[in-house]
Structure 1
Amino acid sequence: MNQETAGVQSPAPTHQFTVLLSATRRGARLARLLAREQLRSWGRPYETAEHVVAELANNAALHGHVPGRSFRLALMVTRTDTLRIEVTDARADRHPPSTVRPPLPEAEAGRGLLLVEALADRWGTVDGPVPCKTVWAELACPPSSSHR
């Protein structure tokens, strides 16, 4: 479900991580690796989140790229064991589509948001601060059984 949610507050985070990365393929790859290691260090499952981060970071590098500007990855785990992934890029003028449709079978791209929609409990976009936008996704993230 894609939602535009301006001003919606998430519960206070129990864990929080933020990093600026270059809006490049290398920066997107690093976002995925950093997310995996951060979630692992918090004792949280990371496999699903890693895929969501990879897709959102790739989109930021591909569609949200502005020369000389970075994108921001933020991870927050709330008291309700919800992981919120946020990727903020410098292109508020380019939003993901509000309805994600499968690409043609012969298309070589266009499946990333289908994956995000399938894996996340909720996702959407928020404008600001100007000239930025944030694409976010939330998914259940209980502590791993080995870290309880």
Structure 2
Amino acid sequence: MNQETVTVPNFTVRLSPTPQGARLARLLATEQLRTWGLPLDRTPQIVAELAANAATHGRVPGRGFRLTLYVVADTLRIEVTDTCGERLPRLERPAPDGESGRGLLLVAALADRWGVAQGPHPRKTVWAEVML
């Protein structure tokens, strides 16, 4: 029996839960997508929003967040895992004059699918998928 080896392009990095870590997540994701020859239209913004949420709402002193990208068939999956599993994100309408609260609305608009998966306590992963 001849078995074919399937390689799943993937990238994982652990970052500090700070604004600098969130910016670095976007930059690293953009460079990885270029390396893979994938489009840069929506994904960097999705990564930026998910990473900013992890740095802002999922921040636990001394614990970073993890960015993972991988491609299966025609789908790019973006995952941001933090250690604040008790705070699950909710899609809400921000106040019209509010300066924040639009990140998940952007993710929902840009991604083909998104959701949240609780991991081993205390982790949670917010994920988004983009069809290629």
Fold shared per TM-score above 0.5: yes
Q: Tell me the alpha carbon deviations over residues 93-136 of structure 1, each in whole angstroms, 9 at most, x when there is no partner.
A: 00001xx2321211111111000000001100001121110000
SS of alignment partner, residue 32 of structure 1: helix
| Cα distance between partner residues in 2 of 1:17 and 1:31 | 11
Q: Is the 8 A contact 1:13 1:77 kept in 2?
A: no
Match of 1:95 in 2: 88
Q: Secondary structure at the match of 1:45?
A: coil
What number of residue pairs does the alignment pair up?
Answer: 127
Cross-structure match for 1:45: 39
Q: Secondary structure at the match of 1:29?
A: helix
Note the aligned Cα RMSD (angstroms): 1.1
Structure 1 portions without partners, runs of 5+: 1-11, 142-148
Alpha-carbon distance in structure 2 between the residues aligned to 1:13 and 1:87 = 22
CA contact (8 A) 1:123 1:138 kept: yes
| Deviating more after overlay: 56-65 vs 103-112 | 103-112
Instruction: Give TM-score, length-normalised by structure 2.
Output: 0.93
Deviations 1:9-36 (A, max 9, x none): xxx7621000000010000000000000
% identical aligned pairs: 61
Question: Higher relative contact order at CA 8 Å, sep ≥6: structure 1 or structure 2?
Answer: 1
Gaps of 5+ in 2: 1-5
Could you say if the C-alpha distance between residues 13 and 69 of structure 1 is closer, same or farther in structure 2, counting changes exceeding 3 Å? farther
TM-score, with length taken from structure 1: 0.83
Q: Distance in 1 between matches of 2:36 and 2:27?
A: 14
Q: Partner of 2:3 in structure 1?
A: none
